[in-house]
Amino acid sequence: MKIICIGRNYADHAAEMKAELPTAPVFFMKPETAILKDKVLYHPSFSQELHYECEIVVKMDKIGKHIAPEFATNYYSQISLGIDFTARDLQSRCKEKGLPWEIAKAFDNSAVVSEHWLPAHEFPLETVNFSFYQNGVLKQQACGKDMLFSIDQILGYVSRFVTLKPGDLIFTGTPSGVGPVAIGDILRGTLARQDMFEITVK
């Protein structure tokens, strides 16, 4: 199982990162060991600037190579919500040197995925809303329709390069409002007004 993450998929987040809008989806991967298996995240000691990025997550049902975007909906049936934890300080240093981002993105427990999945046909990404709260304060809120590249375009693009397999997860990108977490924080996400996760940072 692998995790594909899309970067810069919301214009407002690209702007807050002072990044150019991409002309094709930008993606990177996290390994299976990145999945947080608990409701507690122990703040990693290697970062002084650990950021949350709340994102809609799509689970692959079928093997797919060269997926045609018009048939991409046949390849997934469930959506969920997660956090793409990012060591922003390490990422900034990687970016400055033109180095890959793995140490900032792929570390253990860097991927929160709710255990709660919603049927994609009832909650199409074009209309589904999500919200993210840090200690009860709304920090991120968006609709799937705000994505620069739709999930169907993403699956078409990614599967040109990487074969997608059942169980693979696609993190579809984060809207604006990302920020640092601190020990003691409670991080909560809702998708279509349903509670999806609550994580404590220790």
Shortest CB 52 distance to Mg ion, Å? 10
Residue 105 CB, shortest distance to Mg ion, in Å, is 8
Regarding 53 and contact with Mg ion (CB under 5 A), the answer is: yes
In order of 63, 181, 198, the CA distances from 41 in angstroms are 32, 10, 11
Strand partners, 98: none
Nearer to Mg ion, 76 or 171 (CB): 171
Is residue 168 close enough to count as binding Mg ion by CB under 5 A?
Answer: no
Choose the binding region for Mg ion from 20-28, 51-59, 75-83, 111-119 (rule: CB under 5 A): 51-59
Q: How far apart are CA 193 and CA 116, in angstroms?
A: 13
| Of 117, 125, 121, residue with least CA distance to 151 | 125
Q: Which is nearer to Mg ion, 53 or 152 (CB)?
A: 53
Stretch that binds Mg ion, among 20-28, 47-55, 119-127, 157-165 (CB under 5 A): 47-55
C-beta of 53: minimal distance to Mg ion in Å?
Answer: 4
Say whether residue 147 binds Mg ion (CB under 5 A). Answer: no
Q: Where are the beta strands (DSSP E) in 67-165?
A: 76-84, 86-87, 111-113, 118-119, 129-134, 137-143
Q: Are 75 and 7 in contact (CB under 8 A)?
A: no
Candidates 80, 109, 110, 174: give the one binding Mg ion (CB under 5 A): 174
User: Total residues contacting Mg ion (rule CB under 5 A)?
Assistant: 3
In 3D space, the residue among 49, 55, 73 whose CA is nearest the CA of residue 10 turns out to be 55
CB of 33 or CB of 66, closer to Mg ion? 33
Q: Is 152 in the site for Mg ion (CB under 5 A)?
A: no
Q: What pairs with residue 91 in β-bridges?
A: none
| Chosen residue from 50, 84, 170, 172 binding Mg ion by CB under 5 A | 84
8 A C-beta contact, residue 83 and residue 111: yes
- Provide the binding-site residues for Mg ion, judged by CB under 5 A: 53, 84, 174
